Amino acid sequence: ATIGAGSRIGAPAFVGMNVHAPPTPSPARLWRPRRVLVTPAALDHAHGRAMAGRLEALGLPVERLRSNRLTGLRPEDPRRAYVEAKNTLALVVAPPTRLKLQPIPPSADWRVDLAEGCPAHCQYCYLAGSLAGPPVTRVYANLGEILATLRSYAGSGRITSAQEERAHEGTTFECSCYTDPLGIEHLTGSLSEAIRFFGAWEAPVQLRFTTKFAAVEPLLGLPHGRNTRIRFSVNARAAARYEGGTAPLAARFAAMRAVALAGYPVGLTVAPILPVEDWRQAYDALIAEAAAALDGVPDLDLTAELITHRFTPGSKTVLEGWYPGSGLAMREDERARKFTKFGSVKYVLPKDLMSEMRRHITGRLAARLPAARL
């Protein structure tokens, strides 16, 4: 059996809950991990203790470990290892390497990690090629230390002309490179804390994240100071079957409207763009839906990112192991071979198709959502 959209085997536990955002056509789903591991070091931090208390109050099975090492997470059977890891949340302390930020042009100046891993089951998840080991969701307890580190990075990090074009946004910090921070926010509170921190920061700075979830209610009343941009990762309807465990597309659009009405700068992350059947119409319909969701929002500050699908030999191997039988096409002979900036190989859409998709989708964006800065 495959584990992904439409499959119940090994799927993580989610509970339905209404998002009180107008309109809410379908419920957002909140993850309930089946196993919660708390390291002793995590409890040395106020945020770690607060998270442990929150998880216990939610009635989750919290195991307080004796050691700071997470062991026993690799059963022999790789399918079981995947299922168990995807159902496990661990409270840990971010290693020192995580406190030294990496520049990540062009999407932001710096990457900051509040957690690593995600409970959803997207068959094109980029984490498959980025993170090693079983896909446990690890949340960092030393949040105060992580946020304090950011101060020394303000005013630095701009490298590319794309970043220069966005200089008015200040120094940008991206916190969704290795996780979906909204998908675990009801369990951690870390994202709210980070939004408050940026809201009180007087220098020109911006926190950014993208999400395939929709439970934005805890964020609506926060003093964000318009210093956080919330982007929603969306795709053509035909791609929904590849996004197991995420919030339905309509719920993401309702959430986008709710946060835009709450004054947040927002964004559309159209990703990963795929040549699905009748893709011109499919992506036009998606953009029309986004435009309807944002209709009439005052002081709208909107960006759009268009990211085409790609895979690497490494991510393909991991994803085929996680989702055997997936219908997602990852054939090298249908792709163009390119090199990443680190010299490794990636497979992207063929040049002509890429150009045609770019031309069409940017054209539809300009027509339907002229407020969006690409």
113/180 with CB nearer ligand SF4: 180
300/307 with CB nearer ligand SF4: 307
User: Looking only at residues 81 through 120 of this chain, which bind ligand SF4 when binding is defined by CB under 6 A?
Assistant: 118, 120
User: Looking only at residues 166 through 205 of this chain, which bind ligand SF4 when binding is defined by CB under 6 A?
Assistant: 180
28/65 with CB nearer ligand SF4: 28
In one-letter notation, the amino acid at residue 171 is T
- Cβ atoms of 210 and 219 closer than 8 Å: no
- Least separation in angstroms between CB 119 and ligand SF4: 7
Helix (H) or strand (E) run with residue 38 in it? strand 35-38
122 is a site residue for ligand SF4 (CB under 6 A): yes
CA distance 370 to 374: 10
Which of residues 98, 186, 212, 364 is near ligand SF4 by CB under 6 A? 212
Cβ-proximal residues to 312 (8 Å cutoff; 6+ apart), any chain: 129, 340, 344, 345, 346, 347
DSSP lists the bridge partners of residue 308 as 273
- Least separation in angstroms between CB 89 and ligand SF4: 14
- Least separation in angstroms between CB 63 and ligand SF4: 24
In a 13 Å sphere around the CA of 254, the CA atoms on its Cβ side amount to 19
239 is a site residue for ligand SF4 (CB under 6 A): no
173/178 with CB nearer ligand SF4: 178
178/264 with CB nearer ligand SF4: 178
Angle at Cα 76 formed by Cα 74 and Cα 79, nearest 5°?
80
Give alpha helix (H) positions in 37-125. 46-57, 78-86
127 is a site residue for ligand SF4 (CB under 6 A): yes
Residues that bind ligand SF4 (CB under 6 A): 118, 120, 122, 125, 127, 180, 212, 246
